[in-house]
Amino acid sequence: MLPVITLSTVEATAKAKGITSGNLVAKIDALYVQRLIYEHVRDAAHEVRFAGNDAAHGDLVDDPISAEEAEAIIELMDMLLEGVFIAPAKTAAQAAARQTRKNAGPTASVNGTVPSSP
């Protein structure tokens, strides 16, 4: 069941970025072409897709996924989520914090407190 869930996550990730047409191969590739993911993350997403396809087509009956492989699939899915959502959000938060410090002027200290008057 895990590969099907992770496959759905890849599909939902593409949809969240406005990529709704084509099959999952095309959607993953579109994430890459639109520079939303790096090449290695695209490859990771395709590996998740392969695992999901095996599960969806019953290929796991004779050759089930091991716990180690399931963990690897989750890690690959995490790479996709990190690249598409988490890293950009962290970058935006850091940029906002920098801009806030800049707007506060020279009286603001590094830790956010204002120094007392001499």
- Tens digits of per-residue pLDDT, 29-85? 999 999 999 999 999 999 999 988 877 777 556 777 888 988 999 999 999 999 999
Instruction: Give the model's pLDDT for residue 22.
Output: 97
Q: Which of 31, 38, 33, 37 is nearest to 14 (CA)?
A: 31
CA gap 76, 39 in Å, rounded: 13
Instruction: Give the model's pLDDT for residue 2.
Output: 72
CA gap 54, 101 in Å, rounded: 51
CB 41 within 8 A of CB 83: yes
Give the model confidence (pLDDT) of 79-92 as tens digits.
999 999 999 999 99
Instruction: Give the model's pLDDT for residue 60.
Output: 57
